Structure 1
């Protein structure tokens, strides 16, 4: 009987501790969550595509919220905007002659980061074939790993896939750097080799500006950083559906940015933390993760203790109310530490239930994970069933505000051990990250 009483008392104490903890999170409230995400996903943000006025407006809004929260700029920055340059390459002209026969332009495309290509002799490039029996997608990937200039002769059987890739690349590509690396030129032809060839290509290259938005709460351990992040860009204006052409990106990823800003407000109210906390809204996740890549180059990754990346937390997960999942759960023990901190609360965290979706590599956490940082994404979207992902229907009205507010509270509780310096997650094995 005594043992039962003690167990009951212990359970009650545990539950009371969880309830008391939740009481301390009153700074995270649904009206403020609603205000932030409504603003970020409003039509006047125009879908927050990179290089657009809507994207810049979103960056300005996030920066103004950091100012209100009284954050400091990121290390090495003078304000909340971490601006950097990338390049947009647009194909202009391409010509090729194989064994004396000139190919039409619609049978050619190039993958390069040079402004021009001029191959006039066999030594300028190696010839590789994608034969009738090859898997085009797999062969295309393998060719692009080759450390040499390559002329790729593609069998006509692959005409449909060839044209799809040509059309995609004709719209241009975003580059971090230009004028280095290797070029590949793909030619749709019945030839299996070419004893002589010439290839000429011209591209237009424009430098463009991108901006991460970041703020900091400096901790007692100034060079130990904990990162909370999300991406603020989305896919902008799309083909109209029922008269609506704006892909508002409410769940993807205004929800994650809202969560990150709310966590900044929450931790700021707690005064000086043990570790320094960085709050970052990344640019250009949707076009290649360029924002997180630039951010990762500004700090020593060994000084980043953990990254809590937040993406698509506006809808309930398959695990029920007040639950979320963590991508790459097995790659460090950050998830287990978070689960431990959530014991006795109404919140729960689970391993990613969609390994076939490759979610660990589909968000900004992957960049830092490749550098060994325990960097994971927290999400709750049922990605296998979600009908609004990357559509004009990803709007505020589709979200569950009580759930989203709960998710932010759960992240606050789950991260407290790392922020306080009491817990340090194991590092990700860089050799096991693609």
Structure 2
């Protein structure tokens, strides 16, 4: 009887070990070095900050498409590109200026771009302004607001008195300002003094607003259950471009990191085999224009996406902060989808927190009542400045996110397949079982001689 018992468990251990070895050999080894290599490439000076509408943004779109093709992802609707229209700020071949002109039309002073003043792209609509004390002006210590007809212009000093921050470009709201100009405290004080003398202020920022068609990039792995709602794995790849002096806002953390993580993650997921549910991989464009790419996709395909689950990656690579589970404004720490991720963080001993903001590409899905979240290392210390570079990206933070996200995708796309979740543990314990039951089998065999 002991011999039968030992033989049975030895066979089970051998089968488990063989199967787990096979799984181990076939699963792609997610590599943070590959992630960092892509971050380095996409945040390089060559791509000039990946502003939507620019040639460089189109080149990044083509790069992501090529990566999807290499992986044999199926093109969505017969084409990897999902087009939509946007307005974008087009750089003109002219020089900026901010100057003071006296009552006789003579130049009193010309301020230095990047030293005294710099444009902010938030809600940029108009590129030129002349004003004096004869116009409608409101002044405070750090702000000068000028109203000209239906347009409002804001000159302001940032709280840190630095001109390095560059906002997202959003020009869809007609009720807010038409142009923002950042000024140092000294420049704002000087301009205020010259206004009081009756002098004219003249400002020109050489951008104009143009319309164009840009693309999200979408590929997928077909699941076994065609009627099941898909899993979406996504990240945006655009950033805020470069300023008028040619300073590039590289956007390594925001969000070359997220799209690079997604590309490496797709290789891992593809190696797991055929999922129960279709898995869509999406590179979203124009997130920095107000999440326009994800809004377009969520609205256009709302019926297809009913019941979907969205895992978005936005800023992955800073270990100086916890891994944030970012839900929408309507979510809270009781939201079931978010609590599943929280549970995985606890089990994997990952430091985490919750953020509830409509500030990334999960927003449009939540507004359409679709389960969605963004994984985010919410380190704001260098975001939207020229300091957001590859040398601040941390390997441990990349691996931390993978540890959690991989478990969640297996749960929802592969039916919590225990072999996929625990193949390493199964391989170890079944290996120990083979040794143990082999010894017991030999002992019993000798006794029976």
| TM-score (norm. length: structure 2) | 0.59
1:213 aligns with 2:197: no
1:403 aligns with 2:387: no
Extract unaligned runs of 5+ from structure 2. 1-20, 91-122, 126-135, 156-168, 179-207, 418-449
Cα distance, 1:290 vs structure 2? 1.2
Picking from 320, 343, 347, the partner of 2:350 is: 347
Mapped contact 1:86–1:174 kept (Cα < 8 A): no
Query: In the aligned structure 1, how far is the partner of 2:72 from the partner of 2:211?
Result: 33
**Post-superposition CA distance 1:278-316 (Å, at most 9, x none):** 111111111121111111123135524211111111101
**Post-superposition CA distance 1:168-197 (Å, at most 9, x none):** 9xxxx8678xxxx998999xxxxxxxxxxx
Q: Number of matched residues?
A: 306
Q: Give the match's secondary structure for 2:300.
A: coil
1:86 aligns with 2:58: no
| Equivalent position of 2:298 in the other structure | 296
Mapped contact 2:251–2:389 kept (Cα < 8 A): yes
Cα distance, 1:26 vs structure 2? 5.4
Query: In the aligned structure 2, how far is the partner of 1:267 from the partner of 1:381?
Result: 25
Cα 1:175/1:156, change in 2 over 3 Å: closer
**Post-superposition CA distance 1:347-367 (Å, at most 9, x none):** 344322xx6xxxx21111111
Cα 1:343/1:206, change in 2 over 3 Å: closer
Query: In the aligned structure 2, how far is the partner of 1:185 from the partner of 1:351?
Result: 32
Picking from 58, 69, 73, the partner of 2:75 is: 73
Picking from 411, 415, 421, the partner of 1:417 is: 411
The structure number with the bigger radius of gyration is: 2
1:160 aligns with 2:144: yes
| Equivalent position of 2:93 in the other structure | none
Cα 1:392/1:24, change in 2 over 3 Å: farther
Mapped contact 2:52–2:88 kept (Cα < 8 A): no
Cα distance, 1:325 vs structure 2? 3.4
Q: Give the match's secondary structure for 2:308.
A: strand
Cα 1:183/1:273, change in 2 over 3 Å: same
Mapped contact 2:220–2:281 kept (Cα < 8 A): yes
Picking from 32, 47, 50, the partner of 1:48 is: 50
Q: Give the match's secondary structure for 1:215.
A: strand
Query: In the aligned structure 2, how far is the partner of 1:249 from the partner of 1:309?
Result: 17
Picking from 361, 365, 379, the partner of 2:376 is: 379
1:234 aligns with 2:239: yes
Query: In the aligned structure 2, how far is the partner of 1:185 from the partner of 1:63?
Result: 37
Q: Give the match's secondary structure for 2:312.
A: strand
Mapped contact 1:84–1:294 kept (Cα < 8 A): yes
Mapped contact 1:339–1:348 kept (Cα < 8 A): no
| TM-score (norm. length: structure 1) | 0.61
